[in-house]
Amino acid sequence: MSYVEAAALSPASRRRRLLRRRFLRRPMAVAGLAVVLAFVATAIFAPLIAPYSPSATDFYAVLGHPSGKHLLGTDELGRDIFSRIVYGSRASMLAGFLATVLAMTIAVPIGLAAGYYRGWIDPVISRITDVLLAFPFLILAVGLAAILGPSLLNATLALGIGAVPGLIRIARGEALSLREEDYVRAAIANGGSDLTILGRHILPNMLSTLLVQATVTIPVAIVGEAVLSFLGLGVQPPTPSWGVMLEGAQSYLTQAPRLAVYPGLAIVLAALAFNLLGDGLRDILDPKTQR
């Protein structure tokens, strides 16, 4: 019975099935995916999940301990910490996903062009990549914040641009090696246009690498957003963000150290989940690490 079923499947869906089975065999990766989805859902449905408004102050319950009323206690203005963490996930997820999408949109076409066309384009792009790499992302972000002014959008922009040079290198390397594959040579010999070859043959074959890269770029951007907001270069208070919350907690390290603990735990959990997912995807998609 199952034999007939398998034979009826197309090669593509059979591959998908195989990958799904391989993925499900990795409990850490599955757990990572579950936590990632939970964070995304939290960000989308924040108003439904949070018991209080993130900006509602209660001056009778300042620096309150965790209780039935306030799950994780309250901060220096009596705001519910749990609700602020829930709302804070919005800035983190937004920065994480948008920065990665931005970086991919810029880096992949450039990397493809450099790796596929070679010629004069390749060294020029590689040199420009070197120049961008000479500016650590935080310095780049700091510079951008100085020019554009601090905001979540500009922080996301800076994080995205900061991720571009590394991704260009990866896309270029992939295009460079795929270009020598027989089926690409065959397509060239068949007279396929550059656009067809890039879009039909090279890009689809590097998607798995790009997917893994995206999964490991997102946590970097999430931590980056927290850092920039912590330094006052990202989300501006009173808008809740995990970095902003940690910045505020600095003044209360002696009285209420838990203010510094919970938002940090949220960052670690989110970043760890994406990293676990990325590691799992790399394992199942990259045949070189197959055991």
Partner 1 sequence: MGGFILRKAGAALIVLFLASVLVFSGIRAIPGDAALALGGEERDPAVTAQIRHKYGLDRPVPIQYLHWVGLAVRGDLGRDSRELSVSHTIVTRIPLTLELAGLSLLIGTLIGAVAGVLAAIRHGRLADYLSNGIALIGLSVPHFWLGLLMIIEFSVNLHWLPSGGYVSFRADPIGNLRHMAMPALVLGTGLSAVVMRQMRSAMLESLGADYVRTARAKGLSEWSVVCKHALRNSLITVTTIIGLQFGALISGAVITETIFGIAGFGRLTIDAVSQRDYALIQGVVLVTAAGYVLVNLAVDVLYSFLNPRIRISGGAA
Chain residues that interact with partner 1, rule: CB under 8 A: 127-128, 130-131, 133-139, 142-143, 145-147, 219, 223, 226-227, 230-233, 246, 249-250, 253-254, 257, 260-261, 264, 267-268, 271-272, 275-276, 279
CA 179-180-181 angle, to 5 degrees, is 95
Contact (Cβ atoms closer than 8 angstroms) between residue 263 and residue 245: yes
Shortest distance (Å) from residue 84 CB to partner 1: 16
CA 127-132-137 angle, to 5 degrees, is 155
Q: Give the separation between CA 250 and CA 280, rounded to whole angstroms.
A: 36
Shortest distance (Å) from residue 266 CB to partner 1: 10
Distance of CA 136 to the CA centre of its chain: 18
Of the pair 172, 201, the CB lying nearest partner 1 is at 172
Of the pair 71, 128, the CB lying nearest partner 1 is at 128
Contact (Cβ atoms closer than 8 angstroms) between residue 204 and residue 145: no
Shortest distance (Å) from residue 267 CB to partner 1: 6
Token representation of residue 94: 């937004």
Of the pair 26, 201, the CB lying nearest partner 1 is at 26
Shortest distance (Å) from residue 171 CB to partner 1: 17
In degrees and rounded to multiples of 5, residue 80 shows phi and psi of -70, 120
Of the pair 38, 138, the CB lying nearest partner 1 is at 138
Shortest distance (Å) from residue 181 CB to partner 1: 20
238 prior amide bond cis, ω within 30: yes
Of the pair 64, 150, the CB lying nearest partner 1 is at 150
Q: Give the separation between CA 106 and CA 195, rounded to whole angstroms.
A: 17
Of the pair 198, 267, the CB lying nearest partner 1 is at 267
Shortest distance (Å) from residue 27 CB to partner 1: 13
Shortest distance (Å) from residue 138 CB to partner 1: 4
* Residue whose entry in the numeric block shows the structure tokens 């270029």: 172
* Residue whose entry in the numeric block shows the structure tokens 């972000």: 141
DSSP secondary structure code for residue 287 in this structure: G
Of the pair 198, 219, the CB lying nearest partner 1 is at 219
Contact (Cβ atoms closer than 8 angstroms) between residue 111 and residue 168: yes
